[in-house]
Structure 1
């Protein structure tokens, strides 16, 4: 499964990416620090799943 990560803290993002990569069934294809750049990278890298730090979301980022 192709995963894209978005987290403000680089160290946490790197640790999570490493953990997921070592699981075998996940491939981290992008790590970003903003939701806007994450969406762009996820489209380009064809990510299946986006993991986003909830503190980075704004009301414009979430549409229901």
Structure 2
């Protein structure tokens, strides 16, 4: 993938093109689509593990709605 932007650059670019009020929804949709893609590419068990680790990281940081 020489010359291709990395994931962080892609997400930062997409966020910069959205209003602040739209960014949270965009990221939630991105997470959902990413999890679905992982199911297709790596299987349900691996996708579930990735989502679990993400949720665990959020809980560990003490993030509350």
* TM > 0.5: no
Q: TM-score, normalised by structure 2?
A: 0.31
Q: Per residue, is there more helix in 1 or in 2?
A: 2
Using CA pairs under 8 Å that are at least 6 residues apart, name the structure with larger relative contact order, 1 or 2. 1
Q: Per residue, is there more strand in 1 or in 2?
A: 1
Q: TM-score, normalised by structure 1?
A: 0.32
- In our comparison, the structure showing a higher alpha carbon Rg is 2
